[in-house]
Amino acid sequence: MKLHTLTKAITLATLLSTGSLSAYAADIPLTEVVEANQVITKVISVDAANREVVLEGAEGKPVHIQLSEKAKDLGNLKAGDKVQLDVIRSVGTFLDTDIDKSLPGSVERVGEMRATENNPNPGGTAYRQVKVQLKITAIDLAKNQVTLQNPAGVKKTVTVEKPELQAKLKDLKVDQSVVVVYTDVLKVTTAH
């Protein structure tokens, strides 16, 4: 499964499992942005006892990385090993058509998938996803602006610049929710 597909699957699973969806409300996708980056580097040194790995950074400069106790099999990682880091970030924005008088909220999910015990190369995949429900408190069609309230009660007015989204502003109602789902996936692969 490609990481891009994995990110979309995690986002979809979260949206389908949340209590904000009901039988009579529809979620309308507004935007989706996915960015992917890949870095291939090599290990300069490993201090397994202190859980510190030094990787070769830009222009050969050392980059020190302090790992948590969740990092396993560091004894299998050696200087000269290749490390590939794949990072995917996505932001999906959805309009919840149900008019809800409740306060905005947020949910965070994290998870990880590790290599099997038989794999001599440390690595794995971790993800973090934050779903934030923002409440629409004002709509100004003339200025193409929407005022949103976050879970802390802070309001922010945003200007909608994309014509395809401006066309959807007329369908918005005060007290509807805009759900924003942020997903980060990090996959680390190593090879001797």
The model's pLDDT over 143-167, given as tens digits with 9 standing for 90+, comes to 999 999 988 899 999 888 888 888 8
Proportion of the chain above pLDDT 90, given as a percent: 29
Residues paired with residue 130 on neighbouring β-strands, in sequence order: 108, 182
With vertex at residue 189, the alpha carbon angle to CA 183 and CA 192, rounded to the nearest 5 degrees, is 170
The model's pLDDT over 28-78, given as tens digits with 9 standing for 90+, comes to 677 788 899 999 999 999 998 888 999 998 888 999 988 888 777 788 889
CA 123 to mean position of chain CA atoms: 19
With vertex at residue 79, the alpha carbon angle to CA 75 and CA 85, rounded to the nearest 5 degrees, is 85
**Which residue, among 104, 125, 120, 108, has the nearest Cα to 179 in the 3D structure?**
104
Please tell me the total number of residues recorded for the chain in this structure.
Answer: 192
